[in-house]
Amino acid sequence: MTFRSFLFVPGARPDRFAKAFAAGADAVCIDLEDAVPPPEKAAAREATLAALRQDRLARPAVGLRLNALRTPAGVADLAALAASDARPDFVMMPKVAHAEEAAIVAEVLGPDGPPLWPIIESAAGLEQAFAIAAAPRIGGLLFGGADFAADLGVAVEWEPLFLGRATVVAAAARAGVDALDVPYLDVEDDAGCEAEARRSRGLGFTGKACIHPRQLAPVKAAFTPSAAELARARRILEAFDAAGGAAALLDGKLIEAPVVRAAKRVLAAEEG
């Protein structure tokens, strides 16, 4: 399933888990990393694993973000998850800089483990993005724009982060996996959130992460095809089929294989 809207909730706030599950996101990620102060890591880990053992009915896909694998907290997170009977729908890995990190986590969690979502949030990670996306059991990539901007010494704005975004999208497309864009950081700016989400979709992202439930509606609106887009996509497929799979004209425009692929992506986005 493609996650158009993806909501983070702090692992140190189990009182917010149920509200996050009911907020309407395609997926919820319980965060053990940036949202949890060091003294609260152990308690957050325990609460998160307990939540992941609960009944999956009436909730979206739910996973967790580990701490970075190259930190003591990350090693503890991975060991605890591997030893538990918790079954997350996905595992997000922060600060990934090499494909071997994903391979290690996949091996530790075993052949029946969940899909992995590496976060590309450094120059080193961006350099290896294509290899990381092609690593074992990758479900998608997340562009960690805030950390990436800090690594480069630039502002968290569209232009300085364009190359990072575009590279993550290309790496994910090459591997045939999804790509989520960084959350919009101003939780009170609904219009700005939707505008950036539309730019993200236009660049090729399949969804966008959110840090507050109020961001879900504008993000979903941006990543859900309009009635006009859906109608156009269906007409493209009909015209192509009528031409027997050969190039055709529709409203004076050439319809051939790349255009058909794009139309199929639009229809697939409607299904979520």
At 55, is the secondary structure helix, strand, or coil? coil
Task: Collect all residues with Cβ–Cβ distance below 8 Å to 131 and sequence separation of at least 6.
Answer: 98, 99
Per-residue confidence at 237, pLDDT binned at 50, 70, 90? Answer: confident
pLDDT at residue 271 is higher than 80? no
- List pLDDT tens digits, range 1-35: 689 999 999 999 999 999 999 999 999 999 999 99
CATH number of 5-223: 3.20.20.60
- CATH 3.20.20.60 location in the chain: 5-223
Mean of pLDDT values over 97-119: 97
- List pLDDT tens digits, range 171-223: 999 999 999 999 999 999 999 999 999 999 999 999 999 999 999 999 999 99
Compute the distance between CA of residue 89 and CA of residue 70 in angstroms, rounded to an integer. 23
How many other CB atoms sit within 10 Å of the CB of residue 83? Answer: 9
Mean pLDDT estimate for the chain: 93
Q: CB-side exposure of 102: number of CA atoms within 13 Å?
A: 32
